[in-house]
Structure 1
Amino acid sequence: KWGPAARAWFWLNEWIGAWLSQRLIADHPAIADHLATRRPRSAITTIAYGADPVTSAPEEPVRALGLEPGKYLVSIARIEPDNNILPIIEAFRRRDRSDMKLVVLGTLNDEIPYHRAVREAASDTVIMPGAIYDQATVKALRYHARAYMHGHTVGGTNPSLVEALAAGNMVIAHDNRYNRWVAGEAAIYFNDTDSLSARIDTALADDALVARCSKAARARAREAFRWEDVLSAYEKEALQ
């Protein structure tokens, strides 16, 4: 999405950072692969993010937004084209179910054309409360959601996706190497609006699949994204 001048500036900064650093830390194996085009593998380590398990949450923050626990999907992301927010809304609107809602958290600025398109695509079953920074509210929105929508196409290990796993969310994710490694069997994957629409239908209809994905999400969070392990990895690097 950047022009030639900005891309050149980013490339220069990346090159300088890679070669002046003593140690490179990637947050995802695919990012480590990229860094290996700049420095030897011996100079690179991979340390992902962590998340606190969410095993319970009050319903009040959810109901305050006019939502019913288990009767909505949630997206928490920057409103950017590379996060597929517009296709998520368009695919969801194909549903003919007034009892299900989609919650899209993120700052909207009507001076930005993409943001205007997102707002115009929404219907009365799409709730857009803006950005919410109260962590108790965000945790409740995750915990009580039917599934978490993750349209990110780039970016390594995304903290919001990790937090969704720790909350036991079934995930509907864009199919790419970043999301596949993070979510694994906790997600069902889409490539375009049509396949996304089909995945939403599946998530709304198949209770057993939602339960299996939820169990897999918590297992993946315990396996790869515990804060204790993240801290230990950084301590190990700091002592070298």
Structure 2
Amino acid sequence: MENIKIAFCGTRGIPAAYGGFETAVDEITKKIIVQNQGTDCYIFCRSHSGKIIEDDFEGRKRIFIKGSDNRKLDTFLSSINTGLYLLKNRKKFDYVFWFNNANFFGILLTKIAGIPMAINTDGLEWRRAKWSLPFKAFYFLSSFLICLICRNLISDSISIQTYYKKRFFKKTKFIPYGSVNIPNEFDLSDQMSILAKHGVEYGKFYLQITRFEPDNLPLAIVKAFSETNLYKEGYKFILIGYKDSTKYSQEIMKLHNQSGVYIFPANYNIKELHILRKSAYCYVHGNSVGGTNPALLEAMISCKRVMAIDGPFSKEVLGPQLGNYFKETTLKEDFLKSQLMNDQSLGMSIRIKEKYNWDEVSLAYLSLAERSKVQNNYSKNIKGDFLELD
């Protein structure tokens, strides 16, 4: 196939050590360079250095762009600097994928540069409780404007796709998230060591792995668990994800070592997290805003049972037959009901393999870039209307 140069922008970069989009870019680009060896993948990463640094990383090219030490300004500044780089080096790239509408200024600069692109819109960020009203307004307006100026938008959830069609009258392309391929085999000694490290017994603890943000409900969930008295029956609740000291995270930390609740720092060790999921009685998924959430997919790969927030995104991923759904207002009762759940690991594993496959996800992204390349070549050689992309 013809050589294609694709840029992946808007994330913190690789190796993935933050969230879902970083993992997505890592997995998609690893697959693409195998599926089409004529493709060069450029991944824009964030740096606090003023210098632009480029290197090679596991067959892909990284470009480090300056962000900001201020978390609230990091996305805005890095997106502008990424957009300026693309504008200056517009002939270097055949296609650009942006992730997250909050990168509006970089997306706008890419439009000005005339480089074909697609945007993965992310979830409905303006519904997140953590954001101030000005940011919510900015995010909503950015999403609206992106729908006007960009032809190709990607939704990783049918629910998000439906929302964009109804709210913005915009058709998007559905490309789901993929699930990480985690080997099921591990040494018993490793399992015993990791369980001991967290002070739990096999099958006697609930688990949540999440960022400490209100929309993920970690505070409400651990409060409800402590009210159930399940700890008196030997159950514990392990919450993993503490990273930054905020007013919200401090409220959560007050519950550490209370009524069976134990809180641990953010952990990116795939093997260790897999063993914890595999050993837990039940995984609790509280992410209430967003599309297809990677934490839920990872739980379905490894866990025996899943309690998930009652909402369209959870139901889309789990389907009608799997998981137990909870409401924030009835969490205590829902915890008690979870004690009656059967082992659903086989059903969840089958659904993951059928619906959320990185090979198919990466092929869908590659197809968008290849079709744009064909269209551009066609337009250079034949006068007339462009071929329309879906």
Q: TM-score, normalised by structure 1?
A: 0.88
- The match for 2:211 is 78
Given the alignment of the two structures, is residue 26 of structure 1 paired with residue 159 of structure 2, yes or no? no
After TM superposition, give the deviation of residue 109 of structure 1 in Å.
4.0
- Of residues 127, 136, 148, the one that matches 1:7 is 136
- The match for 2:297 is 162
Higher relative contact order (Cα pairs below 8 Å, separated by 6+ residues): 1
- The match for 1:67 is 200
Work out whether residues 301 and 345 of structure 2, in 8 Å CA contact, stay in contact via their aligned partners in 1.
no
Work out whether residues 279 and 303 of structure 2, in 8 Å CA contact, stay in contact via their aligned partners in 1.
no
Q: Structure 2, unaligned stretches of length 5 or more? A: 1-128, 372-390
Identity fraction in percent: 27
Deviations 1:124-168, CA, capped at 9 Å, x for gaps: 521111111111111111111111101111111101111111114
Deviations 1:197-236, CA, capped at 9 Å, x for gaps: 22322333x3xx331x222211211121121221222233
Given the alignment of the two structures, is residue 121 of structure 1 paired with residue 251 of structure 2, yes or no? no
Select between 215-224 and 46-55 the one with higher mean Cα deviation: 46-55
The code of the aligned residue for 1:86 comes to: L
Work out whether residues 231 and 259 of structure 2, in 8 Å CA contact, stay in contact via their aligned partners in 1.
no
- The match for 1:142 is 277
1-structure distance, mates of 2:244, 2:362: 37
Flag the structure with larger Rg: 2
After TM superposition, give the deviation of residue 106 of structure 1 in Å.
0.9
2-structure distance, mates of 1:103, 1:71: 10
- Of residues 165, 168, 171, the one that matches 1:38 is 168
Assess, with a 3 A threshold, how the Cα gap between structure 1 residues 96 and 12 changes in structure 2: closer, same or farther.
Answer: closer
Count residues with an aligned counterpart. Answer: 232
Residues 100-119 of structure 1 correspond to what in structure 2 (within 5 A)?
100-110=235-245, 112-119=246-253
Q: TM-score, normalised by structure 2?
A: 0.56
2-structure distance, mates of 1:95, 1:124: 7
Q: Structure 1, unaligned stretches of length 5 or more? A: none
Select between 32-41 and 159-168 the one with higher mean Cα deviation: 32-41
2-structure distance, mates of 1:166, 1:78: 20
- The match for 1:192 is 328
2-structure distance, mates of 1:182, 1:190: 15
The code of the aligned residue for 2:152 comes to: R
The code of the aligned residue for 2:362 comes to: L
The code of the aligned residue for 1:95 comes to: N
Work out whether residues 310 and 327 of structure 2, in 8 Å CA contact, stay in contact via their aligned partners in 1.
yes
2-structure distance, mates of 1:203, 1:56: 27
Deviations 1:165-188, CA, capped at 9 Å, x for gaps: 111441101100011101123210
Residues 166-177 of structure 1 correspond to what in structure 2 (within 5 A)?
166-177=301-312
Kindly report structure 1 stretches of 4+ aligned residues shifted beyond 4 Å.
Answer: none
Given the alignment of the two structures, is residue 226 of structure 1 paired with residue 357 of structure 2, yes or no? yes
Residues 80-95 of structure 1 correspond to what in structure 2 (within 5 A)?
80-93=213-226, 94-95=228-229
Select between 71-80 and 214-223 the one with higher mean Cα deviation: 214-223
Assess, with a 3 A threshold, how the Cα gap between structure 1 residues 21 and 73 changes in structure 2: closer, same or farther.
Answer: same
Given the alignment of the two structures, is residue 56 of structure 1 paired with residue 185 of structure 2, yes or no? yes
2-structure distance, mates of 1:227, 1:71: 32
